[in-house]
Amino acid sequence: MDEVTGAQLIAESLKTQKVEYMFGIVGVPVIEVAMAAQAAGIKYVGMRNEQAACYAASAIGYLTGRPGACLVVSGPGLIHALGGMANANMNCWPVVVIGGSSDQNQETAGAFQEFPQVEACRLYSKFSARPSSLEVIPSVVEKAVRTSMYGRPGACYVDIAGDMVNARVDRSKVRVVSCCPTPPVSLADHRAIAEAISVLKAAKRPLVIIGKGAAYGRAETALKELVEMSGLPFLPTPMGKGVLPDDHPKCVAAARSRALLQADVVLLLGARLNWILHFGLPPRFDPDVKIIQVDLCAEEIGNNVKPAVALLGDINAIVTQLLEGVRKDGWKYPSDTEWWSTLSDKIAANAKISKALALQSAVPMNYYTVFHHVSQLLPHDCIIVSEGANTMDIGRTMLNNYLPRHRLDAGTFGTMGVGLGFAIAAAALERSENKGQRIVCVEGDSAFGFSGMEVETMCRYNLPVVIIVVNNNGIYSGVDPDTWKTMAKMGDLTSIAPPVTLLPEARYDEVMTAFGGRGFLVRTVEELRSALQLSLSDWERPSLLNVLIDPSSDRKQQKVERKGDLNDPDSRSSKARPD
C-alpha cells in the first residue's frame, strides 16, 4: 500500500497547483506541512510574524499572478494572518492561507488554541473551508487556488485539523486533481467598445487613469501602444506607477489634482473610484465627468459614479479592443490643445517647487533632499517597496518607476507593516529568477517598527534587500533628542509625551547589524549617497540605512485645486497613516 499523510497531500496539492512559495511560522500542528512542502519542491520562508508572512505570500500573488501560500498554526497564528488576508482581499491580490487547527475530537472542549477558524476567515476571504477528509484535500486546495485567481482576485483559506496532518490514507483513494489554468479571459461587448471610442473622441479634456488592476492584468504592452497611438494623457495610481514609465511624455502625474478636477472624460483602467481617487466625485472631480470604466468585477461597475460606458472584462483584452478601434481610423488626440498646455504648465510649476526643496542640503535633511538623492542612485529596474505617511506620499512623487509591478506599498487598505514582508517576497522571487533586480524598501520609522523583526528573516536567508528608514523620530512628526530629554525631566512621559513621538534617533541600523547585515547611520547628503552606493553594490546581505531627518520636516505647502478648500494637501493619504 502507498500511503500519504495529510501534510503531504496539502503540500503536493499546492505544488500541483503551481504554488511555488510558502511563507509561514511553524509550530504544532503544522511543522510537518512545511517539511512536506519543501520535500514537494516548494520554497519555504520562515518568518517572524504571521502577518508579515501573509503579506509576503500575497505579494507573490500580485507579482506572479499565482498565489503564494501562507502557513500558520492554530488560534493566535491564524488570527495574526487575518491582517494579511484582509490586506490581500482589499488589494485584489491572490493568496492562499493554510491554517492548522485543533484536533477534531477535541472541538468545543476547550482544546489548545481552539478557535472557529473557518468562520473567522470568511469575512476576510473569498473562500474558506476545511476538507472533510484526506481524500478531498486536492480538490479543496485546487478550489482555493482557483478561487483566489478567478474573477476578482483575493484571499482564500484552507483549514487542516491537527489530527489530519499526520493521518494516513491509501494514495489510490485520493482524488487526482490537475492544475487549474490561468483565468479565462473575457472581452467587452463590441457595441460598448464602439461607444467608448466615440466618447473618447468627443472629449475635450480626456484622461487615462492606470490602476494596479492594469499592472496585475499585465496590460502594459497594449496600454503603451494605446497611449502612444492615441496621444492621451495618463495618470497612474500609486501602484499603477510603472505600467508605463513615470518619465513618459504623456504622464501627467505631476499635475494630478488639476488633471482629475478638469478632465471631462476619464478612461478608468483597473482602478476603483474609492478614497485613493477621491470617489470620482466633486470637489476633486468635475460633477459632469464621463467615466469609461474598465473592470473585470461586475459588482465594481457604478460604484460611486454611474459610468458613461461600462467595459466589463479583462483589462489587457479590452485595451487591445480599444486599440483596434483607434487604429482603424488612425484617430489621435492632438498635442497642441489647451488641455495639454494647462497640464504642462502645472507640471512645470510643481517641478520647480520640489526642486527647490530637494536642493537644500541643511542638516538635518528634509524628505525632498533625501528622495532627490535616493532617486538619482536607484537603478531603473529596482523594485520599490514603500510605506509610511510623508515617506510614502512624498516618495511616491519623487521616486520614479519605469517597469510594471515594480512598486509595492500600503495599498488600498493603507496597511502599515507590509513593507518588509513584500520585500522578502520580491527578494525570494529575484533569487530564483535572477534578473539582477534590487529590492529597495523605503520605510517611515513608525512603519518599519510594525514588522521590524523581519530583518532577521532577511539576514537568515541572505536576501540582499536595501532598507532605507526615513527617520523623523515619530508618527507624522517627532521631537529632537534635547527636547525629549527636557520632557523626560518634566514628568512621567506617559502623561506628557506627544502620542506621535517615538524614541529620538533610535538606532534602527543596529537592528540590522545585530543579525549580520550592514547598518548605516546617515545624517548628511554625503553619508546618504555613499551608504546607498555601498548597499546597492552588496549582493550578499541586506543593508539598512537609518536616515535621520528633521523631525518637523513636512510636505511642501500646496494649493490644491478643488472647489471650496484651497489649503488641503494634495495627498492621497491625508494623515491617516503613520510615518
What is the binding site for ligand ADP (CB under 6 A)?
Answer: 91-92, 152, 211-213, 216-217, 237, 239-240, 270-272, 274, 276, 295-297, 300, 314-315, 412
Interacting partner of 200 out of ligand ADP, Mg ion, none (Cβ under 5 to 8 A depending on kind): none
Strand partners, 441: 385, 467
- Interface residue with Mg ion among 113, 128, 472, 543 (CB under 5 A) is 472
Backbone angles phi, psi at 398, to 5 degrees: -105, -20
Greatest Cα pair distance, the chain, in angstroms, is 78
Choose the stretch contacting Mg ion; rule: CB under 5 A; options: 118-126, 177-185, 394-402, 465-473: 465-473
Cα angle 253-259-261, degrees, rounded to a multiple of 5 = 135
Site membership for Mg ion, residue 443 (CB under 5 A): no
Q: How far apart are CA 375 and CA 571, in angstroms?
A: 20
Taking the complex as a whole, the smallest distance from the CB of residue 475 to Mg ion amounts, in Å, to: 6
Q: Which residue has the cell 499603477?
A: 240
Taking the complex as a whole, the smallest distance from the CB of residue 268 to ligand ADP amounts, in Å, to: 9
Taking the complex as a whole, the smallest distance from the CB of residue 379 to Mg ion amounts, in Å, to: 26
Taking the complex as a whole, the smallest distance from the CB of residue 104 to ligand ADP amounts, in Å, to: 37
| Start-to-end CA span in the chain (Å) | 59
Site membership for Mg ion, residue 505 (CB under 5 A): no
Cβ-closest position to Mg ion: 579
Strand partners, 70: 23, 97
Interacting partner of 437 out of Mg ion, ligand ADP, none (Cβ under 5 to 8 A depending on kind): none
Taking the complex as a whole, the smallest distance from the CB of residue 573 to ligand ADP amounts, in Å, to: 13
Site membership for Mg ion, residue 570 (CB under 5 A): no
Q: How far is CA 163 from the centre of its chain?
A: 36
Q: How far apart are CA 354 and CA 364, in angstroms?
A: 18
The residue ranges of DSSP E strands in 515-555, in sequence order, are 518-522, 543-548
Site membership for Mg ion, residue 417 (CB under 5 A): no
Backbone angles phi, psi at 483, to 5 degrees: -60, -40
Taking the complex as a whole, the smallest distance from the CB of residue 315 to ligand ADP amounts, in Å, to: 3
Q: How far apart are CA 172 and CA 204, in angstroms?
A: 66
Q: Considering beta carbons, is residue 274 or 304 the nearer one to ligand ADP? A: 274
Q: Considering beta carbons, is residue 16 or 573 the nearer one to ligand ADP? A: 573
Taking the complex as a whole, the smallest distance from the CB of residue 480 to Mg ion amounts, in Å, to: 13
Choose the stretch contacting Mg ion; rule: CB under 5 A; options: 62-70, 308-316, 441-449, 504-512: 441-449
CA 225, 226, 229, 231 dihedral sign is negative
Taking the complex as a whole, the smallest distance from the CB of residue 294 to ligand ADP amounts, in Å, to: 6
Interacting partner of 51 out of Mg ion, ligand ADP, none (Cβ under 5 to 8 A depending on kind): none
Cell of 370: 533625501
Q: Considering beta carbons, is residue 410 or 502 the nearer one to ligand ADP? A: 410
Cα Rg of the chain (Å, integer): 25
Taking the complex as a whole, the smallest distance from the CB of residue 292 to ligand ADP amounts, in Å, to: 13
Strand partners, 235: 209
Interacting partner of 445 out of ligand ADP, Mg ion, none (Cβ under 5 to 8 A depending on kind): Mg ion
Choose the stretch contacting Mg ion; rule: CB under 5 A; options: 20-28, 180-188, 320-328, 469-477: 469-477
Strands 518-522 and 439-444: unpaired
- Interface residue with Mg ion among 409, 443, 561, 579 (CB under 5 A) is 579
Q: How far apart are CA 82 and CA 98, in angstroms?
A: 12
H, E, C per residue of 51-62: HHHHHHHHHHHH
Q: How many residues bind Mg ion (CB under 5 A)?
A: 5
Q: How far apart are CA 531 and CA 514, in angstroms?
A: 18
Please spell the DSSP secondary structure of 168-187, one letter per residue.
EEEGGGSPP--PPPSPPP-P
> What part of residues 222-261 is at the interface with Mg ion (CB under 5 A)?
none
Residues in the chain: 579
Interacting partner of 366 out of ligand ADP, Mg ion, none (Cβ under 5 to 8 A depending on kind): none
Interacting partner of 81 out of ligand ADP, Mg ion, none (Cβ under 5 to 8 A depending on kind): none
Interacting partner of 472 out of ligand ADP, Mg ion, none (Cβ under 5 to 8 A depending on kind): Mg ion
Interacting partner of 92 out of ligand ADP, Mg ion, none (Cβ under 5 to 8 A depending on kind): ligand ADP
Strands 68-72 and 43-46: unpaired
Taking the complex as a whole, the smallest distance from the CB of residue 404 to ligand ADP amounts, in Å, to: 12
Interacting partner of 102 out of ligand ADP, Mg ion, none (Cβ under 5 to 8 A depending on kind): none
Q: How far apart are CA 392 and CA 334, in angstroms?
A: 34
State the angle between helix axes of 367-377 and 525-537 in degrees (0 to 180), rounded to the nearest 10. Answer: 30
- Interface residue with Mg ion among 61, 217, 444, 452 (CB under 5 A) is 444
Site membership for Mg ion, residue 84 (CB under 5 A): no
Taking the complex as a whole, the smallest distance from the CB of residue 394 to ligand ADP amounts, in Å, to: 19
Interacting partner of 68 out of ligand ADP, Mg ion, none (Cβ under 5 to 8 A depending on kind): none
Site membership for Mg ion, residue 445 (CB under 5 A): yes
Closest CA to 314 of 299, 300, 294, 298: 294
Strands 155-161 and 127-129: parallel
Q: How far apart are CA 369 and CA 524, in angstroms?
A: 10
Taking the complex as a whole, the smallest distance from the CB of residue 234 to ligand ADP amounts, in Å, to: 13
Q: Considering beta carbons, is residue 132 or 574 the nearer one to ligand ADP? A: 574
Cell of 220: 502594459
Q: How far is CA 222 from CA 237, 249, 473, in A?
A: 18, 17, 45
Interacting partner of 29 out of ligand ADP, Mg ion, none (Cβ under 5 to 8 A depending on kind): none
Residues lying near Mg ion in the complex (CB under 5 A) are found at: 444-446, 472, 579
